[in-house]
Structures are given as structure tokens and as C-alpha cells.
Structure 1
Amino acid sequence: MPIEFTHVPGKPANGSFFYDFAETATKLSLIEDAGFRKLVIDDPAGLLANMDIAAQTLDRTPALEVVLTHWAGVVEPAVAARQLAALDLRGGGRLSLRMLSEPLQDSDAEARPAGHSVVWQRIDEYLVLLKRLWSNDEPFDHEGAFYSVKGGYVPRKGLHGGDLTIRLGGQSDTALKVAGRHADIFELAAGSPDEVAQLMQRVRGAAAEHGRAGRLRFALPVRIRPEGWSGASDHKTVEVAGPPARLALSLLPYAALGIEEFMIGGIDRSSEIARIGRETVTPIANSLARCDADTLAPGTFASRSFTGAHLR
């Protein structure tokens, strides 16, 4: 089973992972060499900074895919569609869009709709418009509950067109309805394997209503805290600690559920990135790729051992 690893930069109190792009460029090279395939861009400076960082990252890395964090309501759909299509072209098709339900910083309280269901209705309309703008051959008009578009058209489509990968998350029925309609990758909430499996089942059910259950892939946030490394625990993420074999034991039950991507946080220093790539990411990815379906069947872990020898 192929497994992808995505690097999720932290948000240190003293600045951004991207504050010095000369230093960041070195880290990006390390991230690629360590076996990570994707990088999440979710900078505290907000959406416009995210787009600038995404452009710089795509320019400085030959293969690393960029997961751009975005929020409906911050930029008008027609403007966002043009900017995102340009980024997708710039990166040769290495861009995906990660939609969050609310901006982390929003000084304009009136711009934020009240109520959880309304937030997700706005996201739904926003994504419908983005996809239409990325794929239409002629300008169109749209008058909806949240957006008005006159002569909407993006002349320079991205390489993905209307099929740009969309990432969503959430746990409420309202969020899952939107995810079922739009998500190509669903970012799961952390929990025990049983809890994660239940959420996956709910998401697949929501996607099945749109004939999309077979298109879904799942990503799980993981915080790695190897023994001897300092770092605060984040109770919102699955946290695994220890040497590579123990990390593998912690992740294997989740891989058995059909999760194809681990979003790794907690490793921002160059030495950490290099070490976790050498001792954890690459060995685990190689080991999981060699495992057959029987090895990864749920419920088999109690009777099977997974030692460091499997990681060589």
C-alpha cells in the first residue's frame, strides 16, 4: 500500500516557518530529500501571504506538491480562481486547495456569516463557483446566496482545470455533506483507530450520495515527538513517539484502515527533518509499500509482530 507523507510546518510564537525564505529554501530541499511529497502552507499571516509563499515554494522545488490553505469569503471567487489557476500552471500541476471553515484571523466581523451551517453553505457555493470558473469555456453570470458573479471567466486555466484537488475536513453532518460533494482528500480528525474508522465510514456515506465514494482519499494528522526531542504535546493530533519501529507500530493500524497520507507535524528544525526522513518516513513508507493486503487487514496486528527488521 503506497503511503504519502506531508510536512506540516509549525507556527512558532516567534515567527513563521517561512520568515526567511533563504533558510526556508534549504529546509524545502531537506523535506523533499526526506521523503515528504507534500508541504502544507498555512501561515499565520493569512491567505495573501499563503499565495505568495506557495508561488515561491513552487519555484524553488522541482517535485514537492503544495497544499494551499484557503478560506471562502476572504477573496472573491473570480479573483481566487484566476490566482489559483495561475499557481497551478506555475507549479506544473503541483497545487492542491485546502479549504478551512473559517479564516484564522478576520478583523471584519461582518464578513463572517453567523452560524455553522451558513459557513458551510458559503463554502459549498464558493467551491461550485471555483470549479465552474476553472472549467467553463464561456463567461457566465451567477447570483447566489453569498456571491454574485457577472461574466465570470478564467482565460488561463490551470493544468488541473476543474479537477484541482480539493481537501476538506470536519465532523458535523453539515460539514460532511459539503465534503461528500467536493472533497478529493478528506483530512480526518485525530482519534483512536476505531474513532477514525467511524468517521471514514460517515464521510464515504456522504460522498456516496454524489456517486463519489470511490474518489475519496484520506489523510491523518500526526505529531511526531521522538524520544529525547523537546516539544509540547498537541492533544488535537495523533501523537506518536519513539524510535522508527515504534512509530511504525503506531501508524500501521491507521494505514490498515485505508489512510493513504500522514500529515506530519512537530519537526521544523533542519536536523529533525533530516533525521525523521532517514529513520522514520522513508523506512515506514518502504515497509508499508511491501506489505500485502493480508498484513494490513484490520485486526491482524495483535497476532503479528513488527520489529525494526521490517524497516530495513
Structure 2
Amino acid sequence: MPIEFTHVPGKTHPADSTVPFFYDFAETATKLSLIEEVGFQKIVVDDQAGLLTNMDIAARALDRTSSLGVVLTHWAGVIEPTVAARQLAGLHAKSGGRLSLRMLSEPLNDDDAEARPVGHTLVWQRIDEYLVLLKRLWSNDRPFDHEGAFYSVRAGYVPRKGPHSADMTIRMGGQSGTALRVAGRHADVFELTPGSLDEIRQLMERVRSAAAEHGRAGRLRFALPVRIRSEDNASCQKAVEIAGSPAQIALSLLPYAVLGIQEFMVVGVDRPREIATAGRETIALLRNSLARREADVPQPGAFAAGAIREARAG
């Protein structure tokens, strides 16, 4: 089974732990090359400076790498859909299709609050309308008008979209029924919340059920956050967090892989030595373990059942 690894940067400046990963891009470019080399397929761009900074960082990261995908964290309501669609389509086309969009929820801004009550449902309704508009702008062949609850578009059109723009991967997450309904309609990758095998299985079933209402259950892929800690920080692990040393992580991820999770989002490996160790001890070990186990399985389903039994016994 193909397993992908995504690097989720933290804050790692040696003199100031609050400085983000992308602060010094000359240094970051070296790390990006290493991240690409050791086996990561993607990197998340989620800078605290906000959406416009994220777009700039994403563009530079795509320029400095040849195969690494960039997962751009994005929010509805920061810029107009027509502007966002044009900029994102340009980045996606220029990179050869390596850009994906990670949609997060965020409270409506103060201006919106004056016109309507702020609430969880409204936030997700706006995300839904925003994504509908982005997809339409990426795929339409002529200008169109749109009048919705949150956005008004006149003669909306994105020229020079490139051959892959309509196929940009959308990533979402959430646990509420409202969030899952929107994710079921739009998400290609669903980012799970860490938890036990049973908790994650139940959430995956809920997401698939929501996607099935739109005929999309078979299109979903699942990603799970993982934190790699040094031996000194092992005691900091939370009750439902998948965390540990690189080698321990490789073994503990086996049963999650057989549940159908195809991507692990790795947090906590930002320095070159940590990145190299994660590639050698987590990525390589997990892939080799999966390959060996699958080669030894005499019949379908035995691998999954055995790995889950081992995890529960441990």
C-alpha cells in the first residue's frame, strides 16, 4: 500500500523558538532539499503571518524544489474568490500541479459580524460557497455571475489556468456534523484528529458517509498527524497523541496504515539532523515493514487484522 509523508514545519530558529520555519529562506531552501531527498512527498505552508505570506512562501518553495508538493493553508474570506482563484491557478500551473489547498475554518471577521450573527454553521457555509466558487472559476470556459449568501461575483473568469488547475487537491478536517458535510462535498484529503484506532476508524466512517452523499466516498484519502519527539521529551506525550522516537513511530503507525490512512503528517522534525533521522528511521522503516508484512500475508485481510491485534496487545 502506498504511504506518503508530509512535513509540517514548526518554529526552530536556534536563538528564538518563536521564529517560524520559513524565516530565513536561504536556510530553509537547504532544508527543503533535504526534506525532498529523505522521502517526504509534501510540506505544509502555514505561517502565522497569514494567507498572503503563505502564498509567497508557497511560490518560493515550489521554485526551490522539483518534486515536493506544497500544501498551502488557506482561509475563506481573506481575499475575494476571483483573486484567490487566479493566484492559486497560476501557482499550480507553474509548479506542474504540485500545489494543494488546505482549507481551515476561522471565525467570520468583524465586518461580517455586523451584518449577521457569527457562528460555527455560518463559518462552514461560507467555506462551502467559497470552494464552490473556486472550483467553478478553475474549470469554467467563459465568464459567469454569482450571487450568494457571502459572495457576489460579476463576470468571474480565470484565464490561463493551465492543464491541471481544475484538479487541485482540496484538504479539509473537522469533527462536527456541519464540518463533515462540507468536507464530504469538497475534500480530496481529510486530515484526521489524533486518537485511538477505534476513534479514528469511527471518524473515517463518518467522513466516508458524508462523502457518499455526493458520490465521492471512493475519492477520499486520509491523513493523520504524527509527532516525533526526542527521547528527552517522550514524557510530554498526550493521551491520544501518536508520538515517540522515530523508530517507535514507524512501528506504531502500522495499524493506522492498514485502516486505510495513506498519509502521515509529521510534526517535530525541523532541524537537518532530525529530518535526516526521520527519513532513515521512520519513513524507511515503516515502508519496509509494510512491504515485508504484505509479502508474508497468505490471504487478503490477514495483514490488517494482525497489525491491529498487535497494536491492541501493545
- TM-score, normalising length: structure 1: 0.90
Give the 5 Å matches for 1:120-269: 120-228=124-232, 230=233, 233=236, 235=238, 238-242=241-245, 244=247, 246-269=248-271
SS in 2 for 1:168: strand
Counterpart of 1:298, as a letter, is: A
Once the two structures are superposed, residues 217-266 of structure 1 have per-residue CA deviations (whole angstroms, 9 ceiling, x without a partner) of: 000011111324x589474973321351x322211111111000000001
Cα 1:158–1:286 shift into 2, 3 Å: farther
Match of 1:302 among 298, 309, 313: 309
Once the two structures are superposed, residues 113-147 of structure 1 have per-residue CA deviations (whole angstroms, 9 ceiling, x without a partner) of: 61000000000000000000000000000000000
Q: For the Cα contact (< 8 Å) 1:231–1:266, is it kept in 2? A: no
Q: For the Cα contact (< 8 Å) 2:9–2:267, is it kept in 1? A: yes
Q: CA deviation at 1:289?
A: 4.0
TM-align CA RMSD: 2.3
Q: CA deviation at 1:159?
A: 3.5
Cα 1:149–1:214 shift into 2, 3 Å: same
Match of 1:6 in 2: 6
Relative to structure 2, which stretch is displaced further, 24-33 or 4-13? 4-13
Q: CA deviation at 1:164?
A: 0.8
Cα 1:66–1:194 shift into 2, 3 Å: same
The whole-number CA distance in structure 1 between the counterparts of 2:205 and 2:41 is: 26
The whole-number CA distance in structure 2 between the counterparts of 1:273 and 1:206 is: 36
The whole-number CA distance in structure 1 between the counterparts of 2:239 and 2:86 is: 34
Q: For the Cα contact (< 8 Å) 2:228–2:246, is it kept in 1? A: no
Counterpart of 1:227, as a letter, is: E
Once the two structures are superposed, residues 183-239 of structure 1 have per-residue CA deviations (whole angstroms, 9 ceiling, x without a partner) of: 0000001100100000000000000000000000000011111324x5894749733
Give the 5 Å matches for 1:85-124: 85-102=89-106, 108-111=109-112, 114-124=118-128
In percent, how many aligned pairs have the same letter? 68
Match of 1:307 in 2: none
SS in 2 for 1:19: coil
Cα 1:169–1:243 shift into 2, 3 Å: closer
Match of 2:63 in 1: 59
The whole-number CA distance in structure 2 between the counterparts of 1:202 and 1:296 is: 24
Q: CA deviation at 1:302?
A: 3.2
Q: For the Cα contact (< 8 Å) 1:3–1:288, is it kept in 2? A: no
The whole-number CA distance in structure 1 between the counterparts of 2:19 and 2:263 is: 27
SS in 1 for 2:70: strand
Q: CA deviation at 1:279?
A: 1.6
Q: For the Cα contact (< 8 Å) 2:145–2:156, is it kept in 1? A: yes
Counterpart of 1:170, as a letter, is: G
Q: Which runs of 5+ in 2 are unaligned?
A: 295-299
The whole-number CA distance in structure 1 between the counterparts of 2:6 and 2:240 is: 14
The whole-number CA distance in structure 1 between the counterparts of 2:5 and 2:83 is: 31
Q: For the Cα contact (< 8 Å) 2:192–2:224, is it kept in 1? A: yes
Match of 1:310 in 2: none
Counterpart of 1:34, as a letter, is: V
The whole-number CA distance in structure 1 between the counterparts of 2:198 and 2:137 is: 39
Q: For the Cα contact (< 8 Å) 2:93–2:165, is it kept in 1? A: no
SS in 1 for 2:154: strand
Q: Which is richer in helix?
A: 2
Q: CA deviation at 1:300?
A: 4.3
Q: Which runs of 5+ in 1 are unaligned?
A: 305-312
The whole-number CA distance in structure 1 between the counterparts of 2:192 and 2:8 is: 15
Counterpart of 2:124, as a letter, is: W
Match of 1:286 in 2: 288
Once the two structures are superposed, residues 288-310 of structure 1 have per-residue CA deviations (whole angstroms, 9 ceiling, x without a partner) of: 24432545313544369xxxxxx
SS in 1 for 2:20: coil
Q: For the Cα contact (< 8 Å) 1:197–1:257, is it kept in 2? A: yes
